[in-house]
Structure 1
Amino acid sequence: MNGLAELMERQDGVISRRQARACGLENHEIARRVRRREWTPVHPGVYVHHTGPLTWRQRAWAAVLACGPSALGGISALRAHEGPGRRGVDGLPIEVVVPHRRRVVAPTGVVVTRLRRFDVAVQRNLSPPRMRYDDALLAVADAASTDLAAIAVIADACGGRRTTAARLLASLEATARLHRRAWLRDVLADVALGTCSVLEHGYLTRVERPHGLPRGLRQVADTGGNGRRVFRDVRYGGEQPRWRQIVELDGRLFHSALADRDRDLDRDLDAALTLQDTVRLGYGQVFERGCATAWRLARLFQGRGWRGQPHPCPACPPAVIGGMGKSG
């Protein structure tokens, strides 16, 4: 029975009836362990070696074994890749994927999705088996309730250096059936330009691009007056000292600590030492008043040396359009 103990240890104390039989247990021996409460049924034909609450990993193993051959999918696959504490999904049903040809009745607390690319999109050697990170990420973004939620999924993963836009684009090209396929391709192209958050993507697509503002450089490495290396969200103007402007995008709903605010002020002071002015924008300026923000930035850029002219987007209200006509 050493093989049984080793298997259960690898699977966080979870085992299926089929695995137990393969290790030499007879049905009556399995029944005796259940009767003695050495094993507790989790799903039909799947057991855990204690009677208390299950950990998330035990729930995940139980779902994979109950639906096997299967693997964790979607948000559950991301949770398995990233570890606890990031996704806040431990109380949600476990998501699993199965080969498209199979039809599986999902046990309680499990969501089953049939996957055409099961053989190439799943890493069976991992514990528990799960979809590859990039494929799972695209699945979660594709199923997001809103476009902003989908952007958040992608930007969070790329901004955290857990994947890249190039890798996700390659996975996207290999995945035929996605509801947001064309839209996701456009978002990933923007992320490849350096938009690393929902706010940064909103600024690019709601403020800068649709109003004809100059194209900024994103996530530019810079050295402040004290020699520290920092990254600027968006920098405009090239190398001419009179035409250099920084736009910092503050995605926090509030400053959680005095140290956060102090760090921002230091960054602004460092920029001033290199003859670069800084403006800070938040969600309101980008998502609620994007057109007015674009007009005000255009006037600022022109005052700094930009020779271009902004133009209205289809959503610009008449008052903003009139203001743009007066800029310059």
Structure 2
Amino acid sequence: MRTEEQAGVITRRQSIAGGLTDEHIRARLSSGRWQRASAGVYYTFSGEPTRPAVLWAALLTAGPGAVLSHQTAAELIGLIDRPEPPIHVSVPSQRHITPVAGVQLHRRHHTPVAAPAREPARTTAEDTVIDLTQAANDVDTAVGWVARACARRLTTPDRLRAALATRGRLRWRDALTAAVADVAAGCHSVLELRYLRDVERPHGLPPGIRQRRRQEPQTTYSDVEYDPFGLVVELDGRAAHEDPGRDRRRDQVSAVRGWMTLRFGWADVRRRPCESAAAIAVLLRRAGWSARPTRCGPLCRLPGGSLEPGGSSVP
């Protein structure tokens, strides 16, 4: 019995197949050498179970065809940074399973599975992302999973696009499909997606270059660059900008190149997209952009003929 392949967890059926009897199992449980994880599933050690052991126990308890999914699969592939209860397990739709404490069961007809060596079976990265989008409370959270998975290089826009096409019923299909396309264009976060859709595109700003790599004097990535106008837009979402020193270094690199940096946060993009577009347009016009921004709609707050502070027209 190679229980190390299952983080020290074994089922009764596996034990019997390995030559043990029910009497042997009872003796090991009574002595404390083994612990009962659930009915017919055992930890073959004493002491606190490790996280991998807990996951294996949940999976083996759910039985044949079960796979880890949703947040639990996201934990295994590195899409989230820490475990989140409960443990999510997907099982074949025809299976009838008694509820398990601490385990959220999901029934599905077909589940593409990824099972790396020595790891419990889990949904593929693409199916994990789509599952999380469907469990999200709002569309921003849903598209955020798409952006994060691609930014962490766990999947690609093409693979996500193909996986979306296999799903019959899907909430926010149009928004998710659009998000995949925008991520392919270089957006790495929800804030970057919002900037593209609410600030840049609807106000007719020139297309920016996204996630350009610079190595002067050290490697940095700009969120959006307007070349040849010498303007960098950095989008400061809290989760992506926990290192203020990194932000300063990026600004310094831009300054050395003679570029100006504008920084926008959530409030600037979501609550004041028209004003943010106007500020960018002023600097672009000063740098030689010959066009003018356009109004995003009848309620657009973009200034009409005056884009400069103080009311003077942009030359």
Q: State the TM bucket, normalised to the shorter chain.
A: 0.7 to 0.9
Matched, 1:326 2:312: no
Partner of 2:67: 71
Specify which structure has the higher proportion of helix.
1
- For the aligned residues, what is the CA RMSD? 2.5
Deviations 1:256-280 (A, max 9, x none): 66733541332222331xxx33222
- Alignment-mate amino acid for residue 94 of structure 2: R
Runs of 4+ in 1 over 6 A off after TM superposition: none
Shift of 1:172: 1.5
Partner of 2:32: 37
- Alignment-mate amino acid for residue 109 of structure 2: R
Change (3 A) 1:236 1:301: same
Partner of 2:311: none
- Alignment-mate amino acid for residue 277 of structure 2: A
Change (3 A) 1:49 1:269: same
Report the number of matched residues.
Answer: 306
Q: Does 191-200 or 257-266 show the bigger shift?
A: 257-266
Contact 1:311 1:324 (C-alpha < 8 Å) held by counterparts: no
Report percent identity of matched pairs: 34
Partner of 2:96: 103
Change (3 A) 1:208 1:265: closer
Flag structure 1 segments of 5+ consecutive residues without an equivalent.
none
Q: TM-score, normalised to structure 1's length?
A: 0.84
Contact 2:213 2:220 (C-alpha < 8 Å) held by counterparts: yes
Contact 1:71 1:124 (C-alpha < 8 Å) held by counterparts: no
Matched, 1:299 2:282: yes
3-state SS of paired residue (1:268): helix
Change (3 A) 1:271 1:155: farther
Flag structure 2 segments of 5+ consecutive residues without an equivalent.
308-313
Name the CA distance, whole Å, in 2 between partners of 1:109 and 1:157: 26
Change (3 A) 1:315 1:89: farther
Partner of 1:122: 113
Contact 1:246 1:278 (C-alpha < 8 Å) held by counterparts: yes
Name the CA distance, whole Å, in 1 between partners of 2:92 and 2:254: 53
Partner of 1:20: 15
Name the CA distance, whole Å, in 2 between partners of 1:237 and 1:125: 43
Contact 2:222 2:250 (C-alpha < 8 Å) held by counterparts: no
Partner of 1:82: 78
Shift of 1:325: 4.2
Q: TM-score, normalised to structure 2's length?
A: 0.87
Name the CA distance, whole Å, in 2 between partners of 1:10 and 1:78: 21
268, 272, 287: which is aligned to 1:285? 268
